[in-house]
Amino acid sequence: MAFPKLLVLGTGGTIAGAARSATGKSYGAGEVAIDAIVSEVARLGLDVELVAKTIARIGSQDIGWDQWDALHREIAAAQGDDSIAGIIVTHGTDTAEETAYLLDLTLAAGKPVVLVGAMRPTDAVGSDGMRNFANAVQVARDDRAAHRGVMVVMGDAVFAAPDVRKAATSNINAFRGFPRGPIALATPSSIDWFAPPHREGSSARFAWPEALPRVAILTAGAGMDAKPVEALLGIGCKGIVIAGMGQGNAPRVVLDALADAVRSGVPVVRSTRVDEGLVDRNVEVDDDANGFVASRALGPAKARMLLMMLIASGITDQERIQANFDRP
């Protein structure tokens, strides 16, 4: 019997990291080629055929337009290829939430698409990469994973792209989901689903853009003034996400400067520097009067990706931007 064929797109990250010391702290992300990782996985006897392709060999802190464009192209082609059952992307954990969410917004929700990473490099004692990869295989080959959009598999948990975020710098259980927690639990020999798909319908929500605009995240801090807002406008930002205090708050002078930015045609989304929770409209900040958008469940990193996609798609008015944040 032929095994299901999975496409594995390698981008680097700690899952492809090498430390050359089982106990040392420092390592290089992306040093191990995806072919070497895939031949290692092939020895686990998972009853799948893995076909590897290198997109990049970088730490995901350096990921950007070129890699996203290549990933989108390869995954869209694989979705139309009847011989491929699912797609796995090996990725650094630092920006997995950004890549996963961008792809989720721009790909059809057909075959399973799974991002997987690791917190410890391949040669570290207690490395989590092989197990996470084996878990990702379980998800990518499972029919019940289809039509769920892009997912992230880390530490035996499966998260939907709009929910997932990195919440710890070094713990192997570093990922959390909000507002939904994990939608499934996976091990190398099992998978249990707990939640319905978050995607409505199967078509892509946005067409893949020609480019992405410059959108910055500004973190609010006590005692700050309006100069950072002026600086962002000065370098031509097309949109600003404020990682505000509490429910997306900021000092009065900063909010006034952001309201000026809105008046000059630069959309402003209020998110939060707090770990999780909703940012709602008109709680302490008068969004209606200032023209701001409330990020709802999206933290700053994903709010920036959505705002970039909206601006790239020509959606710049407050009401339509807010409507998109209301359904992340």
How many binding residues for ligand ASP (CB under 6 A)?
A: 11
Task: Find the binding residues for ligand ASP in span 110-129 (CB under 6 A).
Answer: 117, 119
Catalytic residue numbers read: 14
What 3-state DSSP class applies to 144?
helix
Residues paired with residue 190 on neighbouring β-strands, in sequence order:
187
CB of 29 to ligand ASP, least distance (A): 4
Q: In whole angstroms, how close is the CB of 47 to ligand ASP at the nearest point? A: 28
Instruction: State yes or no: residue 94 binds ligand ASP (CB under 6 A).
Output: yes
State the Cα–Cα distance between residues 328 and 323, nearest whole angstrom: 9
- With binding defined as CB under 6 A, does residue 67 bind ligand ASP? no
Going by C-beta distance under 8 Å and a sequence separation of 6 or more, which residues neighbour residue 185?
A: 156, 157, 158, 191, 192, 194
Our CB check for ligand ASP shows the closer of 14 and 67 to be: 14
Nearer Cβ to ligand ASP (117/244)? 117
SS3 263: helix
What distance in Å separates the CA atoms of residue 240 and residue 242, rounded to the nearest whole number? 6
60 binds ligand ASP (CB under 6 A): yes
Of residues 15-34, which lie at the interface with ligand ASP (CB under 6 A)? 29
Q: In angstroms, what is the minimal distance from the CB of 92 to ligand ASP?
A: 2
Work out how close the CB of 14 gets to ligand ASP at its nearest, in angstroms, rounded to a whole number. Answer: 3
Q: Can you tell me the distance from the alpha carbon of 16 to that of 28, in angstroms, rounded to the nearest whole number?
A: 9
Distant-in-sequence, close-in-space partners of 315: CB < 8 Å, separation ≥ 6 = 321, 324
Footprint of ligand ASP on residues 131-190 (CB under 6 A)? none
304: enclosing H helix or E strand: helix 300-312
Q: Which spans in 48-168 are helix H?
A: 65-79, 96-106, 129-140
Q: How far apart are CA 149 and CA 171, in angstroms?
A: 26
Among 8, 9, 55, 59, which residue sits at the site for ligand ASP (rule: CB under 6 A)? 59
Q: Can you tell me which of 4, 7, 8, 14 binds ligand ASP, judged by CB under 6 A?
A: 14
Binding site for ligand ASP (CB under 6 A): 13-14, 29, 59-61, 92-94, 117, 119
